[in-house]
Amino acid sequence: MSSEKTIPPAALALGVAGIIPFLACTVGILAGLTLPVLGGGGRLTQALIVYGVAILSFLGGVRWGIAIGYENEAVQRRDFIIAVVPALIGWGATLLAPVGALWTLCAAFILLGLLDFGLYCRDVAPEWYGRLRLGLSGAVAVLLGVAAAAA
């Protein structure tokens, strides 16, 4: 795999843009805002949880895509399994009370960020991907943790 260290501008811009809903919802929760479009003035926690589950599932899909290229069948099978776990954790989080869901998502983003950094360490993803995932996962985990503490 390429040892490219520079994060491609599109990946960086889109990754940072992906944090905007996490930030907006967390700030809204801290301000006590609600979203009337969710029926009955639904809280931003629901929007934050739904977005967190969507992004967690997307990141599982990225791992699946990387695993497709493996030649070692046992390693491929392991990473295919790892790839579906984020979506399952996210789905399970939706069944919890909002605070529990936010903390579950927070933990899942931390764990998946570390596992994704491991893809670089195993030389199956470029260094920039590992660094990008650590940074974005850290930011998302902090925002989810702040939202959970405030909810």
**pLDDT digit string, tens, across residues 31-87:** 988 877 655 445 899 999 999 999 999 999 999 999 999 999 999 999 999 999 999
142, pLDDT greater than 50:
yes
Q: How many CB atoms lie within 10 A of CB 44?
A: 24
Q: For position 62, what pLDDT does the model report? A: 96
| Angstrom distance (rounded) from CA 1 to CA 36 | 48
What are phi and psi for residue 81, nearest 5 degrees? -65, -45
Q: Residues 4-16: what's their mean pLDDT?
A: 95
- 24 confidence band (pLDDT: 50, 70, 90): very high
Q: Using CB atoms within 10 A of its CB, is residue 46 exposed (0-12), middle (13-18) or buried (19+)?
A: middle
pLDDT score of 42? 58
pTM of the full structure: 0.92
The pLDDT-based confidence of 2 (bands split at 50, 70, 90) is very low
Longest Cα–Cα distance of the chain, Å, equals: 52
